[in-house]
Structure 1
Amino acid sequence: MPVHMTDSSPTGHGKGAGLGLAIASALAFGGSGVAAKPLIEAGLDPLHVVWLRVAGAALVMVPLAVRHRALVRRRPALLAGFGLLAVAGVQACYFAALSRIPVGVALLVEYLAPALVLGWVRFVQRRPVTRAAAVGVVLAAGGLACVVEVWSGLSFDALGLLLALGAACCQVGYFVLADQGSDSADDAPDPLGVIAYGLLGGAAVLTVVARPWTMDWSVLTHTARMDGTPVAAWVLLAWIVLVATVVAYITGVLSVRRLSPQVAGVVACLEAVIATVLAWVLLGEHLSAPQLAGGALVLVGAFIAQSSTPAKGAAEPVAGGLPERELAVREPVA
Structure 2
Amino acid sequence: MAKYLAAAGLAPLEAVWTRMAGAGLLLVGILAVARPRALRIPRSRLLFFLAYAVVAVAGVQALYFAAITRLPVGVTLLIEFTSPVLVVLWVRFIRKVRLPRTAFTGAVVAFVGLGIVVEVWSGLSLDPFGLLLAFGAAACCAGYFLLSDGFGDDVDPLGLIAWGLLGAALVLTPISRPWDIPWSAFARTATPEGGHALPVLGAALWMIVIATVAAYILGVTAVRRLSAAVGSTVASLEVIAGAVIAWVLVGEALGVFQIVGGLIVLTGAYLAQRATADLTEPVGEAREPVGAL
TM range (shorter): over 0.9
- The answer to whether the Cα contact below 8 Å between 2:42 and 2:154 also exists between their aligned partners in 1 is no
**Other-structure match for 2:38:** 68
The percentage of aligned residue pairs carrying the same residue is: 49
Cα deviation for residue 72 of structure 1 reads: 4.7
Distance 1:299 1:252, change over 3 A: same
1:38 aligns with 2:4: yes
Cα deviation for residue 209 of structure 1 reads: 2.1
Cα deviation for residue 39 of structure 1 reads: 1.6
* Superposition map of 1:174-193 within 5 A: 174-182=144-152, 187-193=153-159
Distance 1:126 1:40, change over 3 A: same
**Other-structure match for 1:13:** none
Distance 1:115 1:290 in 2: 21
SS in 2 for 1:229: coil
Structure 1 alignment gaps of length 5 or more:
1-34, 310-314
SS in 2 for 1:317: helix
Distance 2:175 2:100 in 1: 40
**Other-structure match for 1:260:** 227
**Other-structure match for 1:316:** 278
For residue 236 of structure 2, the aligned residue among 269, 286, 308 is: 269
- The answer to whether the Cα contact below 8 Å between 1:72 and 1:79 also exists between their aligned partners in 2 is no
Structure 2 alignment gaps of length 5 or more:
none
Distance 1:221 1:322 in 2: 48
**Other-structure match for 1:87:** 57
* Superposition map of 1:131-210 within 5 A: 131-182=101-152, 187-210=153-176
Amino acid corresponding to residue 203 of structure 1 in structure 2:
A
- The answer to whether the Cα contact below 8 Å between 1:175 and 1:322 also exists between their aligned partners in 2 is no
The answer to which structure has the higher helix fraction is 2
Distance 2:241 2:76 in 1: 13
- The answer to whether the Cα contact below 8 Å between 1:261 and 1:322 also exists between their aligned partners in 2 is no
Cα deviation for residue 257 of structure 1 reads: 2.2
Cα distance per residue 1:262-304 (max 9 Å; x no partner): 3212210110111111112221112211111001111111111
1:299 aligns with 2:259: no
Cα deviation for residue 322 of structure 1 reads: 6.6
Amino acid corresponding to residue 250 of structure 1 in structure 2:
I
Cα distance per residue 1:25-46 (max 9 Å; x no partner): xxxxxxxxxx111221231101
Distance 1:137 1:321 in 2: 22
Distance 2:282 2:217 in 1: 20
- The answer to whether the Cα contact below 8 Å between 2:70 and 2:127 also exists between their aligned partners in 1 is yes
For residue 54 of structure 1, the aligned residue among 11, 20, 32 is: 20
Distance 1:281 1:264, change over 3 A: same
Cα distance per residue 1:139-190 (max 9 Å; x no partner): 11011111111111111111100111111111121122222213xxxx4411
**Other-structure match for 1:329:** 289
Distance 2:121 2:8 in 1: 33
- The answer to whether the Cα contact below 8 Å between 1:88 and 1:202 also exists between their aligned partners in 2 is yes
Cα deviation for residue 74 of structure 1 reads: 3.9
Distance 1:194 1:112 in 2: 24
**Other-structure match for 2:87:** 117
- The answer to whether the Cα contact below 8 Å between 2:149 and 2:287 also exists between their aligned partners in 1 is no
Distance 2:242 2:179 in 1: 30
- The answer to whether the Cα contact below 8 Å between 2:14 and 2:178 also exists between their aligned partners in 1 is yes
Give TM-score, length-normalised by structure 1.
0.82
Distance 1:321 1:115 in 2: 20
